[in-house]
Protein backbone atom coordinates (compact mmCIF):
# COMPACT_ATOMS: atom_id res chain seq x y z
CA UNK A 1 0.00 0.00 0.00
CA UNK A 2 1.34 3.43 -0.91
CA UNK A 3 1.86 6.16 1.70
CA UNK A 4 -0.58 8.41 -0.20
CA UNK A 5 -3.24 5.73 0.10
CA UNK A 6 -2.78 5.55 3.89
CA UNK A 7 -3.10 9.33 4.07
CA UNK A 8 -6.27 9.20 2.01
CA UNK A 9 -7.80 6.46 4.14
CA UNK A 10 -6.97 8.23 7.41
CA UNK A 11 -8.41 11.50 6.19
CA UNK A 12 -11.50 9.82 4.72
CA UNK A 13 -12.20 8.11 8.06
CA UNK A 14 -11.67 11.37 9.94
CA UNK A 15 -13.96 13.26 7.56
CA UNK A 16 -16.73 10.68 7.73
CA UNK A 17 -16.57 10.41 11.51
CA UNK A 18 -16.28 14.11 12.38
CA UNK A 19 -17.84 16.19 9.61
CA UNK A 20 -21.29 16.37 11.19
CA UNK A 21 -19.96 17.28 14.64
CA UNK A 22 -17.80 20.02 13.11
CA UNK A 23 -20.72 21.32 11.06
CA UNK A 24 -22.98 21.46 14.13
CA UNK A 25 -20.28 23.30 16.10
CA UNK A 26 -19.73 25.87 13.35
CA UNK A 27 -23.48 26.21 12.77
CA UNK A 28 -23.99 26.90 16.46
CA UNK A 29 -21.32 29.56 16.30
CA UNK A 30 -22.28 31.34 13.05
CA UNK A 31 -26.04 30.71 13.00
CA UNK A 32 -26.33 30.32 9.22
CA UNK A 33 -26.49 26.81 7.75
CA UNK A 34 -25.21 27.71 4.29
CA UNK A 35 -22.32 29.74 5.65
CA UNK A 36 -21.47 26.97 8.12
CA UNK A 37 -21.40 24.38 5.31
CA UNK A 38 -19.10 26.59 3.23
CA UNK A 39 -16.80 27.23 6.18
CA UNK A 40 -16.59 23.56 7.14
CA UNK A 41 -15.91 22.56 3.53
CA UNK A 42 -13.09 25.10 3.36
CA UNK A 43 -11.68 23.95 6.70
CA UNK A 44 -11.73 20.28 5.68
CA UNK A 45 -10.01 21.23 2.43
CA UNK A 46 -7.27 22.92 4.42
CA UNK A 47 -7.11 19.92 6.76
CA UNK A 48 -6.60 17.63 3.76
CA UNK A 49 -3.75 19.77 2.46
CA UNK A 50 -2.10 19.79 5.90
CA UNK A 51 -3.21 16.29 6.94
CA UNK A 52 0.22 15.10 8.16
CA UNK A 53 0.18 17.97 10.68
CA UNK A 54 -3.56 17.98 11.40
CA UNK A 55 -3.69 14.20 11.81
CA UNK A 56 -1.17 14.47 14.67
CA UNK A 57 -2.97 17.42 16.30
CA UNK A 58 -4.29 16.54 19.79
CA UNK A 59 -7.81 17.60 18.75
CA UNK A 60 -8.24 17.51 14.95
CA UNK A 61 -11.96 18.37 15.19
CA UNK A 62 -11.12 21.49 17.15
CA UNK A 63 -8.52 22.35 14.50
CA UNK A 64 -11.17 22.11 11.79
CA UNK A 65 -13.69 24.23 13.72
CA UNK A 66 -11.08 26.87 14.62
CA UNK A 67 -9.98 26.98 10.96
CA UNK A 68 -13.61 27.37 9.85
CA UNK A 69 -14.21 30.22 12.30
CA UNK A 70 -10.93 31.90 11.33
CA UNK A 71 -11.95 31.58 7.68
CA UNK A 72 -15.19 33.36 8.49
CA UNK A 73 -13.23 36.26 9.96
CA UNK A 74 -10.98 36.38 6.89
CA UNK A 75 -13.98 36.36 4.55
CA UNK A 76 -15.65 39.08 6.61
CA UNK A 77 -12.54 41.26 6.46
CA UNK A 78 -12.34 40.87 2.69
CA UNK A 79 -16.03 41.66 2.22
CA UNK A 80 -15.82 44.61 4.59
CA UNK A 81 -13.63 46.36 2.05
CA UNK A 82 -16.02 45.63 -0.79
CA UNK A 83 -18.83 47.98 -1.76
CA UNK A 84 -22.04 46.86 -0.07
CA UNK A 85 -24.92 45.92 -2.34
CA UNK A 86 -28.53 45.43 -1.31
CA UNK A 87 -28.42 43.54 1.95
CA UNK A 88 -29.12 39.84 1.70
CA UNK A 89 -30.80 38.61 4.87
CA UNK A 90 -29.40 35.63 6.73
CA UNK A 91 -30.98 32.41 5.56
CA UNK A 92 -32.48 30.62 8.55
CA UNK A 93 -32.29 26.87 8.98
CA UNK A 94 -34.66 25.08 6.68
CA UNK A 95 -37.57 23.28 8.33
CA UNK A 96 -36.21 19.88 7.29
CA UNK A 97 -32.84 20.55 8.93
CA UNK A 98 -32.78 18.41 12.06
CA UNK A 99 -29.12 18.87 13.02
CA UNK A 100 -29.83 21.83 15.33
CA UNK A 101 -33.25 22.82 16.69
CA UNK A 102 -34.34 26.12 15.04
CA UNK A 103 -35.35 27.59 18.43
CA UNK A 104 -31.95 26.74 19.87
CA UNK A 105 -30.20 28.13 16.81
CA UNK A 106 -32.15 31.37 17.14
CA UNK A 107 -31.21 31.63 20.82
CA UNK A 108 -27.56 30.88 20.01
CA UNK A 109 -27.53 33.71 17.45
CA UNK A 110 -28.39 36.15 20.23
CA UNK A 111 -25.37 35.15 22.34
CA UNK A 112 -22.12 37.12 22.09
CA UNK A 113 -19.62 35.54 19.65
CA UNK A 114 -17.23 34.19 22.30
CA UNK A 115 -20.09 32.50 24.19
CA UNK A 116 -21.26 30.90 20.92
CA UNK A 117 -17.73 29.63 20.29
CA UNK A 118 -17.47 28.15 23.78
CA UNK A 119 -20.85 26.43 23.34
CA UNK A 120 -19.70 25.09 19.97
CA UNK A 121 -16.53 23.56 21.40
CA UNK A 122 -17.84 22.37 24.77
CA UNK A 123 -21.30 21.15 23.74
CA UNK A 124 -21.19 20.32 20.03
CA UNK A 125 -17.60 19.01 19.92
CA UNK A 126 -17.69 17.68 23.49
CA UNK A 127 -14.23 19.05 24.29
CA UNK A 128 -13.20 19.53 27.90
CA UNK A 129 -12.47 22.95 29.37
CA UNK A 130 -8.72 22.74 28.84
CA UNK A 131 -8.99 21.66 25.18
CA UNK A 132 -11.56 24.40 24.54
CA UNK A 133 -9.30 26.98 26.17
CA UNK A 134 -6.34 25.85 24.08
CA UNK A 135 -8.37 25.90 20.86
CA UNK A 136 -9.72 29.39 21.53
CA UNK A 137 -6.50 30.77 23.00
CA UNK A 138 -8.12 31.77 26.30
CA UNK A 139 -7.77 30.70 29.93
CA UNK A 140 -9.77 27.71 31.23
CA UNK A 141 -11.49 29.98 33.75
CA UNK A 142 -12.63 32.21 30.91
CA UNK A 143 -14.12 29.19 29.15
CA UNK A 144 -16.00 28.27 32.33
CA UNK A 145 -17.27 31.84 32.77
CA UNK A 146 -18.47 32.13 29.16
CA UNK A 147 -20.11 28.71 29.33
CA UNK A 148 -21.89 29.59 32.55
CA UNK A 149 -23.18 32.88 31.16
CA UNK A 150 -24.25 31.26 27.89
CA UNK A 151 -26.12 28.44 29.63
CA UNK A 152 -27.86 30.89 31.96
CA UNK A 153 -28.92 33.04 29.00
CA UNK A 154 -30.11 30.04 26.98
CA UNK A 155 -31.98 28.65 29.97
CA UNK A 156 -33.75 31.99 30.40
CA UNK A 157 -34.71 32.03 26.72
CA UNK A 158 -35.59 28.37 26.19
CA UNK A 159 -36.94 27.05 29.49
CA UNK A 160 -40.40 28.31 30.36
CA UNK A 161 -40.55 30.14 33.66
CA UNK A 162 -42.37 28.25 36.40
CA UNK A 163 -45.18 29.99 38.16
CA UNK A 164 -45.20 30.09 41.97
CA UNK A 165 -48.26 27.82 41.89
CA UNK A 166 -46.24 25.10 40.09
CA UNK A 167 -43.66 25.10 42.88
CA UNK A 168 -46.26 24.11 45.47
CB 89 within 8 A of CB 31: no
Q: For the chain, which residues make up each domain, given as ranges? A: 3-82+94-158
pTM for this prediction: 0.60
What are the two backbone dihedrals, phi and then psi, of residue 148, each rounded to the nearest 5 degrees?
-60, -45
- Supply the pLDDT for residue 81: 59
DSSP state of 82: S
- In DSSP notation, 8-20 reads HHHHHHHHHHHHH
Residues of the chain with pLDDT under 50: 1, 83-96
Distance CA 167, CA 43 (A): 48
Length in residues, the chain: 168
pLDDT at 126: 86
What is the predicted pLDDT for the residue at 156?
86
CA–CA separation, 137 and 133 (whole Å): 6
Residue 89, pLDDT score = 45
CATH number of 3-82+94-158: 1.20.140
Specify the pLDDT at position 96: 47
Give pLDDT, residue 164. Answer: 62
Provide the CB-side half-sphere exposure for 76 (13 A, CA): 9
Amino acid sequence: MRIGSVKQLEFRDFYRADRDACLRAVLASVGDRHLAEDLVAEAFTRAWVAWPKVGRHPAPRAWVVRTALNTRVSWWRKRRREVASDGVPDVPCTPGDDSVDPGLLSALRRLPPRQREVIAYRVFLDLDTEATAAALGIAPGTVTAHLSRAVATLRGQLVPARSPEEDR
